[in-house]
Structure 1
Amino acid sequence: MNPMRICLAALIAAGIAPAAQAQQTTLTVYTAFEAEDLQRYKEAFEAENPDISIEWVRDSTGIITAKLLAEKDNPVADAIWGLAASSLLLMKSEGMLEPYAPKGVEALDARFVDTSQPPAWIGLDAWIAALCVNTIELEKTGAPVPASWEDLTRPEYEGMVAMPNPASSGTGFLDVSAWLQMFGEEKGWDYMDRLHKNIAFYTHSGSKPCKDAARGEVPIGVSFAFRGAKSISEGAPLAVVMPSEGSGWDMEAAAIVAGTDFPEEAQRLMDWTVSENAMKQYNVGYAVVATPGIAQPVENYPEGALDAMIENDFEWAANNREQILKEWSARYDSKSEAQ
């Protein structure tokens, strides 16, 4: 338990804490949400829960996952709001999550709810792998716009592709996990060996390859569909391609960290994360949200994205995460950008 919280609890119990402090609870919330969304989510939640404030701890998916695992025996976070479901499945297996069924959970698409009763985690929205192709830069090379994952291994794309490092990026991990599931493990690693020859660099952010492609730093970025749609709306000369073999995907999810000092407040946060207002907030940044019928069309979002989503085995991905990342790092980490 945090020593400062022990002191505050003691003061409150003794009746000598300042009234403002006694009325205000701060939840430490770990997240991998896009940084640009954090203030909007915080303000929307706190407007409906004025006695609770959110203190974000934000980093990329892999780093937040590693931080939570390192703190397993002495947790710092009260809740997780916006981390890949595959990461939360791993934490569930380690007994790190406090099961809770939020109010309104029955309205969610069943794919977005942990199968345990009560659920250990709940999904919020989904992001889908896609290619961000800078059509102007690619035209300069004379190479065609790729239509498939396999196309990216062709020699004309040498040095033209950026993708996320799966050890630090949830988008990178869903790519690697999907290739191993779609192609089989032997063919999946063979595919990545051939793709590696054409990789310019691996990033530590899932959105960065698309942003780099939008700026013309690379012609092709392996990223996710919404980031490409947003870049097009901002004026970037991009085409967003859904590869013909299908696309990996993951959910941003939420959970209560076992051992939190503020279980009731953390439950109220979980209630809000699945509310209609929360889903509308997610829809600003994602085309797919957990509650059916709420999402509005996203400008420039690629057709066929939902149909491209593979049948994703999240349990397999979570159970094999450590082994996959170890193998990937041994083979390909030499091209990763410095952190």
Structure 2
Amino acid sequence: MTKLKLALLGCAAILPAGAMADELNLICSADVVICELLVNEFEKSHSEIDVNMVRLSSGEAFAKIRAESRNPQTDLWWGGTGDPHLQAATDGLSAEYKSPMLDQLQDWAQGQAEVSGYHTVGVYSGALGWGYNREILEKKGVSAPQCWADLLDPALKGEIQIADPNSSGTAYTTLATLVQLMGEDEAFDFLKKMHLNVSQYTKSGSAPVKSAARGETGLGIVFQHDAVSQAVAGFPIEVVAPCEGTGYEIGSMSVIDGAQNLDQAKIFYDWVLTAEVQNLMPNAGSYQIPSNASAIAPKEAPDLSTVKLIDYDFAQYGASERRKALLSRWDDEIGSLPLE
């Protein structure tokens, strides 16, 4: 029997006559290369489970899961920033699950599980910052920005890209970080001024630094590990941790409430939390900090001990009402502004 793979895999899984494969419907909110690596490795070791995977940004994933809440089509959501995962937990869209792997995880990963009532768990971490194309900035005679305040330099007009926080967890983390650093009104004033230098609000959180790597823009505001990926690939990208301080993400994973394939979701959940699997991530150009305490952080990963991290309030900024209010204000005051 031939069964068509869904979404990104686009290939057929051949089963013996009369055999029925177990299924897992997975949303992956990381880079597509990482998503494909996980699916391929899982199916090698769990050949009885057929994974149907779709890649969506964090905001898109949350919207899909919410829209399907009366008839869930997704079993498991892996990756993407923790704030929408926490909102999904608050809104009753995800299910409680205490993995037997919990005691093997870093404190911050266990903390994510605890604050959500065990509706989500940390799978990786990374600090917010940006990557800039040194060749573009040198050619324009622009000093490399080292602080958030530097992003308001008129010399950067048209050279900044950042994602839309409605679709991107990276951009929402940026929004929440600035609010915590500056205060809400001050943060929105900053964003209005920075808007004058923005050429595009992308859908994907990692897209801005990929554009910078291709020479299409001077700078992309992203998680630092996404900028590292482009630098490791040989592009002229320099990675910056803002001098005033910055937020960070706890990439998360959630079992969906009402999952049709709950047992298979739990098998993947436990498997992906192992050190062996997390040690594979650099093979897909992923340089986040792994959540398993025994996993080895990639040597290329930003050293978080050298980054001035804020005390990011995941509980407050992952709460449904707070998140909705900030996104609504962004739509009204920033997203509605014309791009020049």
Tell me whether 1:310 sits opposite 2:310 in the alignment.
Answer: yes
Structure-2 residue corresponding to 1:329? 331
CA contact (8 A) 2:26 2:53 kept: yes
Once the two structures are superposed, what CA deviation does each residue of 1:197-225 show, in whole Å capped at 9, x if it has no partner? 11121111111111111111111111121
Query: Cα RMSD (Å) of the superposition?
Result: 2.2
Structure 2: gaps spanning 5 or more residues:
1-14
Once the two structures are superposed, what CA deviation does each residue of 1:224-269 show, in whole Å capped at 9, x if it has no partner? 2112112112221121111111222212211211112222222111
Structure-2 residue corresponding to 1:160? 159
Alignment of 1:1-339 (within 5 A): 23-113=20-110, 114-115=113-114, 119-284=118-283, 285-299=286-300, 301-303=301-303, 307-319=307-319, 320-334=322-336
CA contact (8 A) 1:30 1:81 kept: yes
Q: Which amino acid aligns with 2:132?
A: V
Which segment drifts farther, 186-195 or 286-295? 286-295
In 2, Cα distance between equivalents of 1:244 and 1:117:
31
In 2, Cα distance between equivalents of 1:84 and 1:186:
24
In 2, Cα distance between equivalents of 1:203 and 1:306:
29
Cα distance, 1:164 vs structure 2: 1.1
Once the two structures are superposed, what CA deviation does each residue of 1:130-155 show, in whole Å capped at 9, x if it has no partner? 21111111112211001101110122
Residue 260 of structure 1: SS of its match in structure 2?
coil
Residue 147 of structure 2: SS of its match in structure 1?
coil
Residue 159 of structure 1: SS of its match in structure 2?
coil
Once the two structures are superposed, what CA deviation does each residue of 1:60-92 show, in whole Å capped at 9, x if it has no partner? 111111111111122111111223221111111
Residue 202 of structure 1: SS of its match in structure 2?
strand
Structure-2 residue corresponding to 1:12? none
**Residues 73/33 of structure 1: CA separation in 2 closer, same or farther (3 Å cut):** same
Q: What percentage of aligned pairs have identical amino acids?
A: 26
**Following TM superposition, where does structure 1 have runs of at least 4 consecutive aligned residues deviating by more than 4 angstroms?**
18-23, 301-306, 334-337
Cα distance, 1:40 vs structure 2: 1.1
**Residues 215/305 of structure 1: CA separation in 2 closer, same or farther (3 Å cut):** farther
**Residues 258/303 of structure 1: CA separation in 2 closer, same or farther (3 Å cut):** closer
**Residues 136/86 of structure 1: CA separation in 2 closer, same or farther (3 Å cut):** same
Which segment drifts farther, 171-180 or 216-225? 216-225
Residue 244 of structure 1: SS of its match in structure 2?
coil
CA contact (8 A) 2:317 2:323 kept: yes
In 1, Cα distance between equivalents of 2:135 and 2:56:
32
Cα distance, 1:29 vs structure 2: 0.9
In 1, Cα distance between equivalents of 2:330 and 2:187:
11
CA contact (8 A) 2:73 2:260 kept: no
Cα distance, 1:110 vs structure 2: 2.2
Cα distance, 1:48 vs structure 2: 2.2
Cα distance, 1:286 vs structure 2: 2.5
CA contact (8 A) 1:160 1:220 kept: yes
In 1, Cα distance between equivalents of 2:42 and 2:63:
27
Cα distance, 1:192 vs structure 2: 1.0
In 2, Cα distance between equivalents of 1:228 and 1:186:
29
In our comparison, the structure showing a higher alpha carbon Rg is 1
**Residues 161/97 of structure 1: CA separation in 2 closer, same or farther (3 Å cut):** same
Q: Return the structure number with greater helix share.
A: 1
Residue 254 of structure 1: SS of its match in structure 2?
strand
In 2, Cα distance between equivalents of 1:267 and 1:304:
31
Q: Which amino acid aligns with 1:317?
A: Y
**Residues 41/151 of structure 1: CA separation in 2 closer, same or farther (3 Å cut):** same
- TM-score of the pair, normalised by structure 1: 0.87
Cα distance, 1:305 vs structure 2: 6.6
Q: Which amino acid aligns with 1:92?
A: A
Residue 54 of structure 1: SS of its match in structure 2?
strand
CA contact (8 A) 2:162 2:208 kept: yes
Aligned residues: 319
Structure-2 residue corresponding to 1:6? none
Which segment drifts farther, 314-323 or 175-184? 314-323
Q: Which amino acid aligns with 1:78?
A: D
**Residues 306/292 of structure 1: CA separation in 2 closer, same or farther (3 Å cut):** farther
